[in-house]
A and B are shown apart, each in its own frame.
Chain A
Amino acid sequence: MSRQSADRLLSIGLMAAGLLSGVLLLFIVLFISMESWPVLHHTSLSTLLTSTDWRPSMGGFGLLAILVGSLSVSFLALLLAAPLGLATAFYLSVYAPPKIAAFGQKLIEVMAGIPSVVFGLWGLVTLVPIMVHLSPPGTSLLTAGIVLAIMIAPTLTVFSLLAIKSVPMATVQSGRALGLGRGTILRTIILPQARPGIVTGILLALARALGETMAVMMVAGNVVHIPTSLLDPVRTLTANIALEMGYALEAHRAALFMSGLLVMLITLVIVMAAGFKSDGTDKAP
């Protein structure tokens, strides 16, 4: 084979692989939409989104309570995780001695890779028995929020650390040369420059919380109703899918795909907002 034709073949192969991977997202969105379509013959979109009546065997496909469940668990988790995750990022990047900083960063990387089912197991066997003292049975919005917060905190910390590290060293050093304290340097030099990256981290953590399934399902109680207190059980859109996919048929199955479509659209909007904010060509690998 001549070198020109070998080169051409390589280019074509690379191009084909690139295009195939590029259209996967589109393909997934199309397929999930197609599969959820049949439920609209049965129940209108407005009923799906405004009714809290989820009784698939009786033809009730209202997703509102479950949507509220998803949003409340995720925002609660973010509310708990953001202060912890940000404090950790600030401490590790600005205050900690090098050895502690290196250990802390390693620990966070390890935790970011721990499977959600392991967090769920810990939540179910260790945390729920503690939460029972607040209110039985211990599985609740609050329990799910705590477990989820611990899970998304590493995401938040990793992205904040990246943002802080990308602040030019020269600006930090000129601050030091002026005799500014660490807190002042953090507030006046690092934070203003790192803010877009930190916002990206917060958004991605929220997206991760919304899409999380196993851990939440194991500790949230999974009752379909709009929660009125932190100790109420809740069901999320993702848990709804995992709980009922095993036996769902026809309209019910389509309604579960509709739950998935909702989760996907919400997380995609958040992920895209995060992407446009940072606008970096090279994020963390």
Chain B
Amino acid sequence: MKRSVSNRILATSFAGGAFLLAALFLWILGDILWRGLAGIDLAFLIQNPLNAGRSGGIRSVLVATLYIISLSIVIAAPLGLLAGMFLSELCHVYPRISRLIRQSLDTLAGVPSIIFGLFGNAVFAQYLGFRVSILTGALTLAVMILPFLIRSVEHSLRSLPAYYHRSAQALGLSRTTIMGHILLPAALPGLSTGLVLGIGRALAETAALVFTSGYVARMPGSVFDSGRALSVHIFDLAMNVPGGSTNAYKSAAVLVALLLIINLAIMALGHMRNRRRGEPNGC
């Protein structure tokens, strides 16, 4: 039959495309992990970079990365939590404003990361006078991951069963008590997933950091010093340092390994989240 032959050709070509893409992905992942992990030892993690990064390790780079990421989370998480609560809990009260904010955040999530870098350089480094520093980089990343944090807070509060909210209201509990004692604790796995996703995004970022937190590979003394993030280190070794690609590969393997760990954490959290079922709380 003609129909079934054409269907079979279709099926084969789809499978072919899927396997080609999977092969490319596995090639890249394998290339990075194989070449990178081969040369990694403890010394690489605990020594400072030497000779522009060609030799030595990535100690100061890891420290700077840790500073940048944790500071950006400290800045973005409270704001993200409050804004996410606004969008999920007060959207009945302010439907028009909530819709506008949501659209604005969705659009913000699509802004290219280098634009955040320009913005951070102009506002935080120049106007606010923080110069190229860990603080500037962290503020820039905070703005960048904010839409994702808010989305996940809103999403995880919304996916709680509606009867949580209704029974608490029927008991005459105040909004503050309902939020603080019932909804937020119940949404904790979802909130943590959002946080971990945000960390992953921040860790993967390069373009927004190159001219906000900068290139300096020295051990940062405070958040007002420039600090070189791991992703920036990989970029610099690969592009600007002849003979730097061995250590670039090692650093990339460390970065990819960190991201894979983050992925596993998200999977574990997702498992916790799926145990609860019920009619979701729509807006």
Which residues of A approach B to under 8 Å, CB–CB?
A: 3, 6-7, 10-11, 13-26, 28, 31-32, 35, 83-88, 90-92, 94-96, 104, 107-111, 113-122, 124-126, 150, 153, 157, 181-184, 186, 204, 207, 210-214, 217-218, 238, 241-242, 245-246, 256-257, 260, 263-264, 267-268, 270-272, 274-275, 281-283, 285
Contact = CB atoms under 8 A, between A and B. Distances in A.
Given A17-B85, A238-B114, 9 more contacts: A11-B175, A21-B79, A107-B26, A118-B256, A121-B32, A121-B249, A183-B6, A183-B11, A267-B110
Given A6-B174, A213-B112, A257-B122, A285 B151 contact: yes
Given A113-B259, A122-B32, A28 B101 contact: no
B133 interface: no
Interface residues of B, number: 99
Which DSSP category, helix, strand, loop or mixed, fits chain B's interface?
helix
Interface of B: 3-4, 6-8, 10-11, 13-18, 20-22, 24-26, 28-29, 31-32, 79-80, 82-83, 85-87, 89-90, 93-94, 97-98, 100-108, 110-119, 121-123, 143, 146-147, 150-152, 155, 158, 174-177, 179, 194, 197, 200-201, 203-207, 210-211, 231-232, 234-235, 238-239, 245, 248-249, 252, 255-256, 259-260, 262-263, 283
A150 B24 contact: yes
A150 B22 contact: no
Given A111-B25, A183-B7, A21 B18 contact: no
B119 A91 contact: no
B282 to A, nearest CB: 9
Contacts, number: 277
Contact of A213 (B10, B113, B121, B150): B113
B86 A122 contact: no
B96 to A, nearest CB: 12
Contact of B17 (A83, A111, A204, A242): A83
Contact of B107 (A87, A241, A275): A275
Nearest to B190: A285
Nearest to A272: B107
Contacts of A107: 22, 25-26
Given A91-B18, A125-B245, A25 B111 contact: yes
B271 to A, nearest CB: 14
Of B3, B14, B86, B101, most A-chain CB atoms within 10 Å: B14
Contacts of B20: 84
B115 A28 contact: yes
B263 A113 contact: yes
A17 B80 CA distance: 8
16 contacts: A15-B94, A21-B80, A28-B108, A28-B116, A28-B143, A87-B17, A111-B28, A121-B245, A125-B238, A157-B21, A211-B113, A213-B206, A246-B211, A257-B122, A274-B110, A285-B155
